[in-house]
Amino acid sequence: MVHNAITRNDLKILGTSSSVGGYFKDVKVTGECKFTGDVDCLKFSQTGEIRVDGNLRLQNMKITGECEVKGRIDGDSLRGQGQLTAGGGLRIEDIRLTGGIIVNGDCEAEELQMTGIIEVSGLLNAGKLELGLFGPCRADAVGGSSISIKRSRTGALLKPGQVKKMSFQARLIEGDQIELQSTQAQTVRGGRVIIGAGCEIDTVEYRETLEIHKSAVVKNQVKL
């Protein structure tokens, strides 16, 4: 949680610089900056490259470029274009990003909408998950109420060989409503399940309805 009772000042960096970190109101970086400790702020805005050697706690984050955090990332909202890396897990309530998210650990959100590439070593958990694939993506497990994993519409511009690389891999995908494309998984478990084009699933367990595209491969179907 972001601490609001602490006295905070703004931090603005232009060019190449470094900071020990600390508590801030608004952090705005244009260029390159390395924080050697934790950063706790209300608003975090960057254009360029950021590295945080500790944890990053914030309310609102806007990213254009690359942000690498060795520790955890906790926040309320994320917007922008670029790549976000979290070495110790990530929890941001509302994520809308074009680019990439790489998380060592669990990635949690209430709503996650992104087009690009996502790699999560643990659980990818979102109340509402909308992922537009633009490359090879993976998570150990996916959980949520509404899960939509599809090829990005931009992918129609790619060459045939590149389209094959737009895929999502997971051991388990579990949710109430699930719609998948170009997904490889051991188990998909849900209420209403749509297995779309390019999917390869070992076992689908469904409670209400199941639709399978003619090009998809489902080895086992189980009605719960």
Q: Which pLDDT belongs to residue 188?
A: 98
State how beta strands 60-69 and 73-86 pair: parallel
Domain edges within the chain: 1-105, 107-224
Q: Which pLDDT belongs to residue 157?
A: 47
Q: How far apart are CA 24 and CA 1, in angstroms?
A: 14
Q: How far apart are CA 152 and CA 73, in angstroms?
A: 26
**pTM of the entire predicted model:** 0.92
Q: Which pLDDT belongs to residue 83?
A: 96
The tens place of each residue's pLDDT in the chain, 224 residues long, gives 555 568 899 999 999 999 999 999 999 999 999 999 999 999 999 999 999 999 999 999 999 999 999 999 999 999 999 999 999 999 999 999 999 999 999 999 999 999 999 999 999 999 999 999 998 999 999 999 999 999 987 654 445 555 557 899 999 999 999 999 999 999 999 999 999 999 999 999 999 999 999 999 999 999 99
- 148 within 8 A of 179, measured Cβ to Cβ: yes
Q: Pseudo-torsion of CA 142, 145, 150, 152, nearest 10°?
A: -100
Q: How far apart are CA 224 and CA 217, in angstroms?
A: 20
State how beta strands 107-133 and 60-69 pair: unpaired
Q: How many DSSP H helices and E strands does the chain contain?
A: 1, 13
- How do residues 25-69 score in pLDDT, each as one tens digit? 999 999 999 999 999 999 999 999 999 999 999 999 999 999 999
Q: How far apart are CA 179 and CA 212, in angstroms?
A: 10
Q: What is the per-residue DSSP string for 59-90?
A: SEEEEEEEEEESS-EEEEEEEEEEEEEESS-E
Q: Which pLDDT belongs to residue 165?
A: 75
Q: Would you state the structure tokens that stand for residue 60, as one six-digit string?
A: 């609102």
Q: Would you state the structure tokens that stand for residue 115, as one six-digit string?
A: 């087009």
Q: Which pLDDT belongs to residue 164?
A: 53
Q: How far apart are CA 66 and CA 50, in angstroms?
A: 6
Q: Would you state the structure tokens that stand for residue 202, as one six-digit string?
A: 């070992």
Q: How far apart are CA 63 and CA 215, in angstroms?
A: 38
Q: Would you state the structure tokens that stand for residue 58, as one six-digit string?
A: 């914030």
Q: Which pLDDT belongs to residue 15?
A: 97
Q: Which residues pair with 205 in a beta bridge?
A: 189, 222
Q: Which pLDDT belongs to residue 166?
A: 84
